[in-house]
Amino acid sequence: MSLYIFARTVVAIVFFPLYRIRVIGKENVPENGPVIICSNHISNFDPPVVGITSPRDIYFMAKGELFEKPVLKTLLPGIQAFPVKRGLSDRNALRKGLEILKNGNVLGLFPEGTRSKTGKIGKPLAGAGFFALRSQATIVPCAIIGPYKPFRRLTVIYGKPVDMAYYRENKISANDTAVAIMSEVENLIKNHTE
Peptide bond into 147 cis (omega under 30): yes
With CA atoms as reference, report the closest residue to 42 among 128, 179, 145: 145
Distance of CA 56 to the CA centre of its chain: 12
73: Cα separation from own chain's centroid: 21
The pLDDT of residue 56: 97
Looking at residue 168, its amino acid is R
Distance of alpha carbon 9 from alpha carbon 24, whole angstroms? 20
pLDDT digits 0-9 by tens, 105-119: 999 999 998 888 887
Q: Which of 60, 73, 42, 47 is nearest to 149 (CA)?
A: 42
Q: In what order do the strands lie in the sheet with 21-24?
A: 21-24, 154-158, 138-145, 35-39, 106-109, 59-63, 81-84
For residue 89, what pLDDT is reported? 72
Q: What is the pLDDT of residue 1?
A: 74
What tens-digit pLDDT sequence spans the chain (194 residues)?
799 999 999 999 999 999 999 999 999 999 999 999 999 999 999 999 999 999 999 999 888 888 999 888 889 999 999 998 876 578 899 999 999 999 999 999 999 988 888 878 989 999 999 999 999 999 999 999 989 999 999 999 999 999 999 999 999 999 999 999 999 999 999 999 86
pTM of the model: 0.94
Domains located in the chain, CATH noted: 3-192 (3.40.1130.10)
